[in-house]
Structure 1
Amino acid sequence: MEKDKVHVFAPATVANMVCGFDILGFALDEPGDEVYMRRVDKPGVNLVQVTGDDGRLPRDTAKNTVSASVLTYLQHIGRPDVGVEIELHKQMPIGSGLGSSAASTVAGLFAINTLLGNPLSRQELLPFAVLGEELACGHGHADNVAPALMGGITLIRSYDPIDLVSLPVPPSLFASVVFPHVDVPTRDARQMIRTKVALKDAVTQWGNIAGLVAGLYSNDYELIGRSMHDVLIEPTRAILIPEFYEMRRVTMESGALGFGISGSGPSVFAFSRSKAVATQITAAITELLNKHGIGSNGYVSGVNADGPRELGN
């Protein structure tokens, strides 16, 4: 059934999960972004308001990921008659490594699909979300948009065609996430990555990815922790994140299973076996950063199984 208006939340995400560059990610309970969308008589898509971005995001309908994705969606389903007004309310930091653009894009796509009575499944919305990521950061990866859209932990087995696998979530798995207030643009972080790797490093990485997936299926927390190591991407990106190895040290000393960079950074995350330990880890990281004069945002979250959801209007 079609609606006149909707109010949608879409979650932040942690991409890569240390060893799974561009293929693994999971959704968080918080933070996230919100979109208000309402039907209007005049056909077309109009982005009427953006808040919480300090003026950093484009207001042009064709350039903002939310409105541009909605335009592409309407063209695909053959509904040029539809007119909508969109408000985007950023509730999470931009350039944090927590899938800010993905949360906005997914919120917009989920909103328009809900508004029109859900003609497409969530999986069918994924290609439009990937196009939104390409517009936002120049590379159409799905490790943020897939978990933001589907919820839980996702594996992108293939990009051409997109083949998405939802992975199980062990019952006591919690995440500590901290966003240090330093600037690490996604485009810059990607340009630093090596395009060729040694075979021995590739073998190590494959083993860790397989071990992480196996640990998720078997609820083997120790195996999950042993597998959270990256020999390809993290050594380069860690250079851009102040006190990275000190954060790792205090995190592991506080009882984490594993620790690493969230997406392209500067946010970092750790897995642990309880909310209490996750809370201690977040506090330890933020305290360390504060001692070095670096502000931060800290979060404690389970793995969000729901992805985007409709809120009360």
Structure 2
Amino acid sequence: MAVGIKVFAPASVANVACGYDVLGFALEEPGDEIVITKVDKKGLRITKITGGKLPYDPLKNTAGFAALKVLEHLEYDGGLEMEIHKKMPFGSGLGSSAASAVAGAMAVNEVLNKPLTKQELLPFAVLGEQIADGAYHADNVAPSLLGGMVLIRDTQTLDFHKVYIPDGLYVVVIHPHIEILTKDSRGILKTEVSLADHIKQSANLAGLMLGMQNSNFELIKNSLEDIIIEPQRAHLIPHFYDIKNAALTNGALGCSISGAGPSIFALCDSTIIAENVAIQMEKVLLDQKISCTIYKSRINNEGAILC
């Protein structure tokens, strides 16, 4: 009996407040798992999906499409079977489709003895995620694949740069149990911004990068502000500003929407602060009888791994 290989790809937080579509970081959990097995019958087939309803047609599935693109590039015409195990919620703002695409691309590469590097897998994973939301962007895919915090300087060429992570930085993510599809959340955004807002947002992104590089938590705190995207999406998330206020008043460096939402992230500079922030953010939703899940972790520097 053929033995498959298993790859885990983690969830990610995209945008990081002031870096819409150009910045993201990986979490330690949750994530998705893909199992790939070589078989005699030619072609790629998805044989099992757990954790949610997804298409079995590889051309319509983020993991399957990313895998097909890798196989096409490698000119591989053998047989493969894929299992997809969703370990994270759909429409959560945690890069669910990106994690599947990353795991799919990496899994076929692993089963074929790693002819491509992680960096070389990036464009195939981005194409896989595009199946889900119709947009070509790497702010979830890149950190899920490569780990750490990643700046995408240019999306079309996928010119990415890893950002230094200061010691002592912790992440709290709260996921209210509602679903917001990325394509819907992107659809409400204005296509133009004022010059004043552009200047302010650019300064915040530059300040965040300098703060990370220099381990300057005060600069990070002052820069974690989104004045363009967050105000347009906040109404989609029940009690968003109450949750954000709970995080900030209890010591978080910053708090904003994770990707398209409804998940909300907070960055903290100690485990004690992170624990308290998590309790207070959760309390806001529980008081409103809204169920949720809390994730606490460091920024995951490994990204996708062979299990």
TM range (shorter): over 0.9
**Residue of structure 1 in register with 2:217 after alignment:** 221
**Residue of structure 1 in register with 2:73 after alignment:** 76
In the alignment, which of 59, 62, 65 is matched to residue 65 of structure 1? 62
Distance 1:199 1:43 in 2: 55
SS in 2 for 1:255: coil
**Residue of structure 2 in register with 1:22 after alignment:** 21
Summarize deviations over 1:135-156 as a string: whole Å, max 9, x none: 1111111000000000000000
Query: Is 1:309–2:289 an aligned residue pair?
Result: no
Distance 1:213 1:142 in 2: 18
Distance 1:222 1:192 in 2: 33
Query: Is 1:266–2:262 an aligned residue pair?
Result: yes
Deviation at 1:5, TM superposition (A): 2.3
Given that 2:90 and 2:179 are in contact with CA atoms closer than 8 Å, whether structure 1 keeps it comes out as no
Distance 2:58 2:188 in 1: 31
Given that 1:41 and 1:83 are in contact with CA atoms closer than 8 Å, whether structure 2 keeps it comes out as yes
The letter for the 2-side match of 1:61 is P
Distance 2:33 2:122 in 1: 18
Query: Is 1:296–2:296 an aligned residue pair?
Result: no
SS in 2 for 1:114: helix
Distance 1:84 1:307 in 2: 24
Deviation at 1:162, TM superposition (A): 1.4
TM-score under structure 2 normalisation? 0.98
Deviation at 1:290, TM superposition (A): 0.7
Given that 1:143 and 1:156 are in contact with CA atoms closer than 8 Å, whether structure 2 keeps it comes out as yes
Alignment of 1:271-286 (within 5 A): 271-286=267-282
Distance 1:4 1:240 in 2: 44
SS in 1 for 2:165: coil
**Residue of structure 1 in register with 2:169 after alignment:** 173
Summarize deviations over 1:39-80 as a string: whole Å, max 9, x none: 101121010000001x2x212121111111111111111112
**Residue of structure 2 in register with 1:148 after alignment:** 144
In the alignment, which of 81, 92, 95 is matched to residue 88 of structure 2? 92
Q: Which runs of 5+ in 2 are unaligned?
A: none
Distance 1:182 1:294 in 2: 9
**Residue of structure 2 in register with 1:36 after alignment:** 35
Deviates more, 1:104-113 or 1:211-220: 104-113
Given that 2:65 and 2:127 are in contact with CA atoms closer than 8 Å, whether structure 1 keeps it comes out as no
In the alignment, which of 197, 205, 209 is matched to residue 201 of structure 1? 197
Q: Which runs of 5+ in 1 are unaligned?
A: none
Distance 2:300 2:94 in 1: 14
Distance 2:180 2:97 in 1: 15
Percent identical pairs in the alignment equals 46
Distance 1:187 1:42 in 2: 36
Summarize deviations over 1:73-93 as a string: whole Å, max 9, x none: 11111112x211111111101
Deviation at 1:4, TM superposition (A): 5.2
Given that 1:4 and 1:115 are in contact with CA atoms closer than 8 Å, whether structure 2 keeps it comes out as no
SS in 2 for 1:62: helix
TM-score under structure 1 normalisation? 0.96
Distance 2:3 2:105 in 1: 16
Query: Is 1:13–2:27 an aligned residue pair?
Result: no
Q: CA RMSD in A?
A: 1.0
**Structure 1 stretches of 4+ moved >6 Å:** none
